[in-house]
Structure 1
Amino acid sequence: MIKTIKFMAKHGKLLLVLLINVGLFYSCGPTKDLKQENKNLPENYSRQSTDTINSGTLKWRDFFHDPNLVKLIDTALVNNQELNIMLQQIDVAKNEVKARKGEYLPFLGYGASAEVEKVGEYTRNGAVEKNLDIKDGEEFPEPLADYSAGIFASWELDIWKKLRNSKKAAVLEYLSSIEGKNFMVTRLIAEISDSYYELLALDNQLAFIEQNLELQSNALKMIRIQKQAARATELAVRRFEAEVLKNQSHKFEVQQEIIEMENKINFLIGRQPQHIDRNSEDFIQTQMDTIYAGIPSQLLRNRPDIRQAEYELQAAKLNIKVARANFYPSLGLKAGIGLQAFNPKYLTSTPESLMYKAVGEIVGPLINRNAIKAQYNTANAKQVQAVYEFEKSILKGYIEVVNLLSKMENLKKSYELKENQVKALTESIDLSTQLFQSARIEYIEVLFTQREALQSRIELVETKKDQLMARVNVYQALGGGWNN
């Protein structure tokens, strides 16, 4: 036994150095090249200038001019349930940063314990306790108690920056969650404004239907009078009656759509069903402000979803470093100081009851490293996935802007043509009525003229609505809406 102790004392340092060298040799883990992301974008949008003025940088309060719409958006940013859920997720990410930060700082704790133990006399501990006196005339108590209290500390030395990289990754995840919230805000604002314009369009459709019903009712009276004068047939009367009934039915359908659209907005702003304040009279005359698209590269800093994907990518790169650090040995320090005795009355007897310890340890994987290899491979796969997500968000944003800019231009041309169409058909209503009264055309032409005039007005309203919605969607696609 003595020879063994001397051997360990003599060769302990050599054995420790050998273990460290073996650990470092086996800690060499696999390496994989990081997939690099592609951020390249064209210098400008198709058929657009290279002017860097960008409407996406406008605050949403400066972009929207309707006070009723601004009030709805303000309410939604406070009460929308989905947005509030996202805010709680941000708090979770923030707390994760605090937790990761605490992992690479020293841990300090306190503790106290009480224990009682009875060992057999024919054991090493039992023989010692039976024959060894504490003081003259005193023996170890049986059963033997153990009382202790003290302060303990532990600290893992972050020599491979595993814990710090983990904390940095958590910070990036936190920033990503903030950008996710910002992207949700842009979508929420766009959805509310789209629904609001849809509501205004429905109001105007209803007004046109009511105006058309008045015209058709007058035409029906005229047809009935002409039938009495034998200048029209019962068929003409019935056709006009059917047209009036059809539009009356359509009126109720539009009224139902208005109720549902109002309640959709109420849901988005987080309140019970109620009337939505709005001014629909000047909807058709709403002017379209110019949208400045800037240059494509501005999407990288303006769009929250692209910035979110970029933060996720940076976090994935750090997670690879964290996973690789698991192949290396970890160095830890442990220390403690306190009081210990078999009887509480001896706890205050110092230095006899004083106890302390200090431990330094190095631990690393040697064999059966499948788990950490799997973690490392998973981290690499997630980094590649994050690269594709980042590139996809860039491509998606660019295509959205290109499509919407083209849509705005085509809607502008379409609206001008429909405006002239409405003007021509509106004038043709009175003309067809006069011609019918003078027996120069058939009743069916009057009927078709009124029907086409109503349809053209509804299409004009729909085109104006599409213009306003496209303007909002371009603003969102350029990265606007999250900054108030």
Structure 2
Amino acid sequence: MNNFKLLKYAVLSCILLNFASCKSIDIKEKVENKTVPENFGVISSDTLSVAKINWKDYFTDEHLQNLIEMALQNNQEMNILMQEIDITKNEIRIKKSEYLPSVGIKAGTGFEKAARFTNIGAMEATTNIAPGKEMPEPLGDLGIGLVANWEIDIWGKLHHAKNAAIKRYLATVEGKKFMQTQLVAEIAQSYYELLALDNELEIVQQNIEIQNNALNVVKLLKEAARTNELAVKRFQAQVLKTTGLQYQIKQRIVETENKINFLVGRFPQTIQRTTTGFEKLIPTKISTGIPAELLTNRPDIKKAELLLEAAKLDIKYAKARFYPSVGISAGIGYGAFNPSYLLKPESLMYSLAGDLMAPLLNRNAIKAEYKNANAKQIQAVYNYEQTVLMAYVEVVNQLSKIKNLENSINLKQQEVDALNQSITISNNLFKSARADYMEVLLTQREALDAKFELIETKMQQMQSSISVYKALGGGWN
């Protein structure tokens, strides 16, 4: 009886010691700031963000739609990310499996010869398997059975690990959506850049024709002794300069086409595109909604939020490691020294055991992991807040850019119209010897530059409408 009491007190002391050693350190988690301004710098009555519009409805150009469709299927970076999603999904399966007992089948064989002058050897020498039948020597050992081990998740450690894996899986899904918004926007911007380059090339070719006509006029005037060789050479140089410019534009067209081909996931080929009406393109009207919608519309913000939630669960997992783990192990099967006895009822063997284990000597390592988890949670908070801030700034910048570009285009169009009239006037004045040839050349050069600037500004306007669509969270739905 005294021995039983002693054993009971010993077990109780061990349990109390374990729990005493399980006390964790408390670290206060940082709370993220989710507040955003009420509007994007101006009072807006928009109730629906343009980000809600499907990209097929936002981009109505059929050729552009086809390019985006192909890119979403064939883009290599997108396909790489899809494999990352599968990896994180498998991580969930791994964490879920830790909830269940690990069950396996175990079979083995062997033999052993114990020394005669040992306790086992002495017992074997004086033991008979059956009346008149001595213990075989060496002694065989055959066994087959099931074994199982199970950690009982009392403190939620495995539960937190599984939920953290789920959050990271969902974050990769949001990452895929964000990549899609990036991909859709990049293809659309490159497509409109290509249309702009086509228009620039057309303008250059038109100017080459105009300048060649002017050169022919100057040659005739020289023959009539109404001008000199210097004027002829200056007009000829201007024609050569403009002719050389078209090859620079052609090279840019090839590079832009191949950029789109790369995004689409195919080898270089001609990009099918709309060839007329670029100057008359009108960007889609932008409705911004309220800034708070960014938190749900932007996949990168949702990804940062999910990673933050996973980091919080990692802290709970690390904290649960301070507490004792409870495990159960069990086994059942048959064992014998001879195959003929293996399946007899007397050969049945089984075991069932439970254990309680708490960290004692390795608490410093667990503390370090706990502090690391907390530091990563703080990092995740800053990353989330930075992502929200960056999204808001992007929208404000693009809205301002769209407004300023619209005003710039109106003024630039008036400049182009005025310079086009100046070309005709200067040519007529030069023919009648009332203007110097330098005035004609300067007018032609200014008109060409103004037309280029108008096309570039129009391209920036179209690209800004794409950028604000992406900044508001559009392109993934």
User: Is structure 2 residue 219 aligned with structure 1 residue 215?
Assistant: no
State the match for 1:369 in structure 2: 363
State the match for 1:399 in structure 2: 393
Structure 1 stretch 463-472 or stretch 14-23: which is displaced more? 14-23
State the match for 1:78 in structure 2: 73
Contact 1:173 1:312 in 2 (8 A): yes
Q: In structure 2, do the counterparts of structure 1 residues 17 and 56 end up closer, same or farther at CA, with 3 Å as the change threshold? A: same
Whole-angstrom CA distance in 2 between matches of 1:399 and 1:27? 47
Q: How does 1:44-443 map to 2 (within 5 A)?
A: 44-350=39-345, 352-443=346-437
Query: 3-state SS of the aligned residue for 1:288?
Result: coil
Query: Deviation at 1:52?
Result: 2.0
- Read off the aligned partner of 1:239 and give its amino acid letter: R
Query: 3-state SS of the aligned residue for 1:236?
Result: helix
- Read off the aligned partner of 2:20 and give its amino acid letter: F
Whole-angstrom CA distance in 2 between matches of 1:289 and 1:80? 26
Query: Deviation at 1:139?
Result: 2.3
- Read off the aligned partner of 1:429 and give its amino acid letter: I
Whole-angstrom CA distance in 2 between matches of 1:7 and 1:346? 41
Q: How does 1:459-474 map to 2 (within 5 A)?
A: 459-474=453-468
The alignment of Structure 1 onto Structure 2 pairs a total of residues equal to: 477
Whole-angstrom CA distance in 1 between matches of 2:275 and 2:250? 14
- Read off the aligned partner of 2:181 and give its amino acid letter: T
Whole-angstrom CA distance in 2 between matches of 1:368 and 1:263? 58
State the match for 1:32 in structure 2: 27
Q: In structure 2, do the counterparts of structure 1 residues 349 and 449 end up closer, same or farther at CA, with 3 Å as the change threshold? A: same
Structure 2 unmatched ranges of 5 or more: none
Structure 1 stretch 323-332 or stretch 422-431: which is displaced more? 422-431
- Read off the aligned partner of 2:408 and give its amino acid letter: S
Query: Deviation at 1:35?
Result: 0.3
Whole-angstrom CA distance in 2 between matches of 1:8 and 1:247? 108
Query: 3-state SS of the aligned residue for 1:149?
Result: strand
Query: Deviation at 1:115?
Result: 1.8
Whole-angstrom CA distance in 1 between matches of 2:46 and 2:281? 26
- Read off the aligned partner of 1:170 and give its amino acid letter: A
Whole-angstrom CA distance in 2 between matches of 1:28 and 1:160? 13
Q: In structure 2, do the counterparts of structure 1 residues 302 and 151 end up closer, same or farther at CA, with 3 Å as the change threshold? A: same
Whole-angstrom CA distance in 2 between matches of 1:232 and 1:344? 121
Contact 2:318 2:366 in 1 (8 A): yes
Whole-angstrom CA distance in 2 between matches of 1:447 and 1:265? 37
Query: Deviation at 1:120?
Result: 1.7
Query: Deviation at 1:10?
Result: 3.8
Whole-angstrom CA distance in 2 between matches of 1:245 and 1:145? 100
State the match for 1:454 in structure 2: 448
Query: 3-state SS of the aligned residue for 2:333?
Result: strand
Query: Deviation at 1:140?
Result: 2.2
Contact 1:130 1:140 in 2 (8 A): yes
Whole-angstrom CA distance in 2 between matches of 1:8 and 1:73? 80
Query: 3-state SS of the aligned residue for 1:230?
Result: coil
Q: In structure 2, do the counterparts of structure 1 residues 225 and 347 end up closer, same or farther at CA, with 3 Å as the change threshold? A: same
Contact 2:58 2:284 in 1 (8 A): no
State the match for 1:3 in structure 2: none
Query: Deviation at 1:234?
Result: 1.1
Query: 3-state SS of the aligned residue for 2:107?
Result: strand
CA deviation map 1:354-406 (0-9, x unaligned): 00000100111012312111110110000000000000000000000000000
Q: TM-score, normalised by structure 2?
A: 0.98
Q: In structure 2, do the counterparts of structure 1 residues 194 and 8 end up closer, same or farther at CA, with 3 Å as the change threshold? A: farther
Whole-angstrom CA distance in 2 between matches of 1:153 and 1:333? 8
Q: TM-score, normalised by structure 1?
A: 0.97
Whole-angstrom CA distance in 2 between matches of 1:345 and 1:362? 39
Contact 1:213 1:247 in 2 (8 A): yes
CA deviation map 1:15-62 (0-9, x unaligned): 112111111111001110010001111111112414322101111111
Query: Deviation at 1:104?
Result: 1.2
CA deviation map 1:86-114 (0-9, x unaligned): 00000000010011011012222212111
Contact 1:204 1:461 in 2 (8 A): yes
- Read off the aligned partner of 1:443 and give its amino acid letter: Y
CA deviation map 1:105-136 (0-9, x unaligned): 22222121112222222222222222211112
Q: In structure 2, do the counterparts of structure 1 residues 188 and 258 end up closer, same or farther at CA, with 3 Å as the change threshold? A: same
- Read off the aligned partner of 2:122 and give its amino acid letter: A
Whole-angstrom CA distance in 1 between matches of 2:384 and 2:45? 24
Query: Deviation at 1:412?
Result: 0.4
Structure 1 unmatched ranges of 5 or more: 1-5
Structure 1 stretch 364-373 or stretch 93-102: which is displaced more? 364-373
Whole-angstrom CA distance in 1 between matches of 2:283 and 2:439? 36
Query: Deviation at 1:8?
Result: 5.1
Whole-angstrom CA distance in 1 between matches of 2:328 and 2:250? 74
Whole-angstrom CA distance in 2 between matches of 1:118 and 1:461? 95
Query: Deviation at 1:451?
Result: 0.8
Whole-angstrom CA distance in 2 between matches of 1:214 and 1:182? 49
Contact 1:43 1:50 in 2 (8 A): no
Query: 3-state SS of the aligned residue for 1:108?
Result: strand
Query: 3-state SS of the aligned residue for 1:134?
Result: strand
Whole-angstrom CA distance in 2 between matches of 1:435 and 1:31? 88
Whole-angstrom CA distance in 2 between matches of 1:243 and 1:129? 113
